[in-house]
């Protein structure tokens, strides 16, 4: 439940008073009918559960082999870190750095900041520097390109199918599952309620 407050429409910029919205309900703009706010039930608890699932999947995706290639009876195990390292050894420094950042660093920061924000909120308290962490989370999200990496892996598997026997590893399945879990965590997180909880309004004198 939320009390009455002012909010500007994201589509037409009309500033209007929004009444109390029940859990699971939504308020719409009086001018353009856009959704002003939507109350997601148990938003912090659901997001925390998805964040923990994403953390487990991210660890599995980076610990276990991504693919196993069998070429003339020789097995080669490939991981995400090994792929970036091989690109570095081949002289593609910028590409190696991009792969490392977008498939490991950015998702790790995404999951870490998400848990830093929502785990304390799920327990009914505000964590230290929660508002700053949530602001950083909004900035990190565009750099988390797990789905682009997965598309590249699938294209590579198709191209190498005639040259080698390719066996998907557990890391590939974990990385594939990580994509919808991360997306679901941001859908279930009520950003407005998060900001309202992290930085409550200062009462008028």
Say yes or no to pLDDT of 203 above 50.
Answer: no
pLDDT tier for residue 6 given thresholds of 50, 70 and 90: confident
Q: Quote the pLDDT of residue 16.
A: 78
Structure-token pair, residue 188: 């279930």
| Cα–Cα distance measured from residue 49 to residue 52, given in angstroms and rounded to the nearest whole number | 5
Local confidence band at 18 (pLDDT 50, 70, 90 cut-offs): confident
Structure tokens, 145: 């390109």
What percent of the chain is predicted at pLDDT more than 90? 19
Domain ranges of the chain: 1-39, 42-198
What's the pLDDT score for residue 23?
Answer: 66
Least confident of 71-85, 105-119, 123-137: 71-85
* pLDDT, position 4: 54
Residue pair 108/58 in contact (Cβ under 8 Å)? The answer is: yes
Q: Is 5 helix (H, G, I), strand (E, B) or coil?
A: strand
Q: Where are the alpha helices (DSSP H) in the chain?
A: 43-63, 80-89, 93-100, 106-122, 130-140, 146-160, 170-188, 191-198
Strand pairing partners for 76? 69
Among 49-53, 60-64, 105-109, 150-154, name the most confident range.
49-53
pTM: 0.75
Q: What is the pLDDT of residue 112?
A: 94
Q: CB within 8 A of 85, min separation 6: which ones?
A: 96
DSSP secondary structure code for residue 136 in this structure:
H
Looking at residue 64, the DSSP 8-state letter turns out to be S
Please return the burial class of 205, using the count of CB atoms within 10 Å of its CB with bins 0-12, 13-18 and 19+. exposed
- 60-81 tens-digit pLDDT: 988 888 877 776 667 767 777 7
pLDDT band with cut points at 50, 70 and 90 for residue 57:
very high
What is the average pLDDT across 48-55? 95
Q: What angle do CA 174, 191, 183 make, to 5 degrees?
A: 20
Percentage above 70 pLDDT, the chain: 83
Q: How many CA atoms lie within 13 A of 149 on its CB side?
A: 28
Cβ contacts of residue 163 below 8 Å, gap of 6+? Answer: 71
Q: Which of 31-35, 72-76, 82-86, 186-190 has the lowest mean pLDDT?
A: 72-76
Lowest mean pLDDT among 60-64, 66-70, 167-171, 175-179: 66-70
Tell me what pLDDT residue 114 has: 94
């Amino acid at each position: 439940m939320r009390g009455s407050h002012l909010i500007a429409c994201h589509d037409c910029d009309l500033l209007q008073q929004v009444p109390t919205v029940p859990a699971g309900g939504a308020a719409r703009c009086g001018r353009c009918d856009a959704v002003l706010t939507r109350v997601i039930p148990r938003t912090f608890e659901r997001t925390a559960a998805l964040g923990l699932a994403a953390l487990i999947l991210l660890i599995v995706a980076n610990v276990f082999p991504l693919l196993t290639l069998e070429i003339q009876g020789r097995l080669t195990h490939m991981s995400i870190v090994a792929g970036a390292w091989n690109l570095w050894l081949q002289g593609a420094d910028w590409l190696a750095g991009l792969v490392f950042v977008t498939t490991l660093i950015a998702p790790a920061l995404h999951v870490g900041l998400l848990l830093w924000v929502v785990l304390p909120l799920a327990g009914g308290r505000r964590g230290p520097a929660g508002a700053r962490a949530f602001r950083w989370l909004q900035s990190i999200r565009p750099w988390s390109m797990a789905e682009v990496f997965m598309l590249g892996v699938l294209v590579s598997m198709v191209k190498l199918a005639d040259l080698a026997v390719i066996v998907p590893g557990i890391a590939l399945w974990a990385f594939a599952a990580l994509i919808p879990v991360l997306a679901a965590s941001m859908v279930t997180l009520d950003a407005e309620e998060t900001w309202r909880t992290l930085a409550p309004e200062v009462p008028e004198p």
